Amino acid sequence: MSSIPVREGRRFQLILIKPSHYDDDGYVIRWWRAMIPSNSLAALYGIALDCAEREALGPGIAIDITVIDETNTRVDVEALCEKLQRQGGFGLVALVGVQSNQYPRALDIARPFRTAGFPVAIGGFHVSGCLSMLDGQAVELDACREMGIAMFAGEAEGRLDAVLRDAAAGQLAPLYDFMNDLPSIEGAPPPFLPKQYVSQTLGLSSSFDAGRGCPYQCSFCTIINVQGRKSRFRTADDVEQLVRLNWAQGIHKFFITDDNFARNKEWEPIFDRLIELREKDGIPLGLMIQVDTLCHKIENFVEKAKRAGVTRVFIGLENVNPDNLAAAKKRQNKITEYRKMLLAWKAQGIITLAGYILGFPADTPETIRRDIAIIQEELPLDIIEFFVLTPLPGSEDHQTLWRKGEAMDLDLNIYDVEHVCAAHPKMSKDEWEAIYREAWALYYTPRHMRTLIRRAVATGVPVASLVKVLVSFATTVPLENVHPLQGGLLRLKHPSERRPEMPREHALVFWPRFAGQTVIKHLRLAGTIVRLTATALWIARDPATRRYMDRALTPVDEEGDASLELFTKTTGGQASVTHMKKVARLTGAGRAA
């Protein structure tokens, strides 16, 4: 190892920045309180803290760690440069967890640091996905090479030491590629953020990954090509450690970011440990997890999730058309299981959220409108998160189009699953983007939200929690023109944070307009909150609501369900029912039921 020049009192400055990205007007999306905590920041901070405690740069060399999540904190480049300059440039600016839509903003953040001569590194799904699936030159990676930004592909457990040493010695390599050597995360430093950073998210919630990797082959997914198809897991001991670390600073809500916690082979030991922490140690855990549509078939999974503290579950529903699911290699999704699965979560009083992708090959505006109506009437689902099918760099879909030379939008900023980036066989770009925006209004109608509240009261779902989520998902797109997952409370803007290629607005134009827009949006938001709260109180006080029943809440009857529009109107629905009946006959499941 090369020696690191040190003088007395010199402290290595590690600045971890999770970039946001630009909205349609070119301004950084930033909030007073952001919606989603960044697991990338938590993971990197935990690893960096371990490096500091071990004195990875050598005896007596301190590492100061600065954390900035740009979705809730302004990146003050001038102040950060001064901090680095006071230590003679002894440090590293690390842009972490950078997704494709955040890559242009990440480069804009990096540019002044590189101009000042400070070392910068970038990692995350964009760099890792491109190096995994493309030729290493594609999708603007050369911009890093031209600016002298070190690229990091893979995961940082056990690897950050080397990067810090190289930065300290002024010898950062152009590329650190660990894509073919993904580390074990068992016993690794746990994801962790001090409370001062966690408090800048709504609900004072943090995040961690209990496992990485996914065995499935969905063509639109980047996770399988970045984190691999072989799953790796933290142990129950690891999870208990990170829970206790957070509980010691008053944090007990977590988003478990595993792409599919139901396929984590350690799910039961982890749930059992979390149950013990709740029921014996009195830690009031509140969890959100992500699962697949077959999780209810795992014995005790749903029941133990409830006892472990799961209050919300995100399900990769993706679509109700079997032919669309097959086209995306999402064959593990069986629409014949959707109602069973959702009713299983309903029976535990857990809020269900589902991802729903618009723009599969068979989709048209008419079929999307039809399918949303079917979901409203026939599936006991609370929240839908709509996404535009996007060929994300690092996915098989992107690789296929890239190899064929098919046209894709060159602006990575819009690869945010809200904008159209490639052609569709049945819809124009304008039609596709219009139906995406319309979908939110179609699902979150006042009438359907009243229905959702009635279902919540009848099934024991916490109504106040549901109303909070409904407010966010019903208003963020029309008011803020961003996806609810990119949302937050009180949008913040600054004229200096506009994309460099767009004109800087004069302060006398920018600030009055921004103030006026903020007042109008919050008056509309307040109106929605008042109406939904009043509606929920009225419904909850009606004794008849406890006995409420509709088609979606009706217990599964496979013969009766066969007549549902879910199966009779969707593409491939009847074939799914026929296949289900055939399997039941051959296995005797029908007689057992």
3-state secondary structure (DSSP) of residue 177: strand
Please answer whether residues 105 and 19 qualify as being in contact, where contact means their C-beta atoms are separated by less than 8 angstroms: yes
Task: For helices 125-133 and 396-404, give the axis angle rounded to 10 degrees.
Answer: 50
pLDDT, tens digit (0-9, with 9 covering 90-100), for 473-513: 999 999 999 999 999 999 999 999 999 999 999 999 999 99
For residue 104, the model assigns a pLDDT of: 98
DSSP run (H or E) holding 245: helix 236-247
Q: What percent of the chain has pLDDT over 70?
A: 94
Question: Please, are residues 335 and 576 in contact by the beta-carbon 8 Å criterion?
Answer: yes
Average pLDDT over residues 555-560: 83
pLDDT in the model for residue 592: 40
Check pLDDT > 90 for residue 7.
no
Residue among 441, 373, 415 nearest 126 (CA) = 415
Which residue in the block uniquely carries the two structure tokens 């809730």?
A: 72
453-480 confidence digits (pLDDT tens): 999 999 999 999 999 999 999 999 999 9
pLDDT of residue 557: 87
User: What is the distance between the alpha carbons of residues 91 and 118, in angstroms, rounded to a whole number?
Assistant: 8
Look up residue 466 and give its two tokens. Answer: 């549901």
Q: What is the mean pLDDT of residues 177-199?
A: 94
Tens digit of each residue's pLDDT (9 = 90 or more) over 434-453: 999 999 999 999 999 999 99
For the segment 252-264, what is each residue's pLDDT rounded down to a tens digit?
Answer: 999 999 989 998 8
Answer whether residue 354 shows pLDDT above 60: yes
pLDDT of 590: 47
Strands (E), 493-545: none
pLDDT in tens, 102-123: 999 999 999 999 999 999 999 9
Q: What is the distance of C-alpha 531 from the center of its chain?
A: 29
368 confidence band (pLDDT: 50, 70, 90): very high
| CA 319 – CA 360 distance, rounded (Å) | 9
Question: In the sheet that 11-18 helps form, which strands lie side by side, from edge to edge?
Answer: 62-69, 11-18, 91-95, 120-123, 150-153, 175-177
Rounded average pLDDT over 564-591: 62
> Per-residue confidence at 1, pLDDT binned at 50, 70, 90?
very low
Token pair 């499941």 is found at 589
**Six-digit token string for 189:** 């430093």
Distance CA 285, CA 283 (A): 6
Q: What is the pLDDT of residues 153-172, one digit of tens each?
A: 999 999 999 999 999 999 99
Residue 448 confidence (pLDDT): 98
| CATH number for the domain whose boundaries are 10-177 | 3.40.50.280
Rounded Cα–Cα distance for residues 404 and 396 (Å): 12
Cα dihedral 231→220→28→155 (10° resolution)? 20
Domain spans, the chain: 10-177, 558-587
pLDDT digits (tens, 9 = 90+) for 218-240: 899 998 899 988 889 999 999 99
> How high is the pLDDT of residue 573?
56
Q: Is 158 left (phi over 0), alpha (psi -120 to 50) or beta?
A: left
Distance CA 368, CA 351 (A): 24
- Which is more confident, 332 or 51? 51
Rounded Cα distance between 229 and 113, Å, is 36
Q: Are 211 and 231 in contact (CB under 8 A)?
A: yes
Share of the chain above pLDDT 90, in %: 83
pTM of the model: 0.92
Distance CA 64, CA 77 (A): 17
From 224, 222, 193, 189, select the one nearest 207 (Cα to Cα). 193
Nearest alpha carbon to residue 28 among 488, 472, 566, 434: 488
Position 578 confidence tier, pLDDT thresholds 50, 70, 90: low
3-class secondary structure, 384 = strand
- Spatial CB neighbours of 319, under 8 Å, sequence gap ≥ 6: 325, 328, 330, 333, 356, 357, 360, 371
> Averaged over 408-417, what is the pLDDT?
96
Using only the alpha carbons of the chain, give its radius of gyration: 25
pLDDT at 137: 75
pLDDT at 61: 95
Structure tokens at 445: 């109608």
For residue 13, give the nearest of 167, 137, 154 by alpha carbon: 167
Q: How confident is the model at residue 248 (pLDDT cuts 50, 70, 90)?
A: very high
- Residue 587: per-residue pLDDT: 54
Distance in angstroms (rounded) separating the CA atoms of residues 57 and 91: 11
Residue 139 banded pLDDT, cuts 50, 70, 90:
confident
Position 385 pLDDT exceeds 50 = yes
Taking the C-alpha atoms of residue 175 and residue 73, their distance in angstroms, rounded to an integer, is 28
Determine the Cα–Cα distance for residues 183 and 155; give it in Å rounded to an integer. Answer: 7
What does the pLDDT read at residue 9?
66
Mean of all residue pLDDT scores within the chain: 92
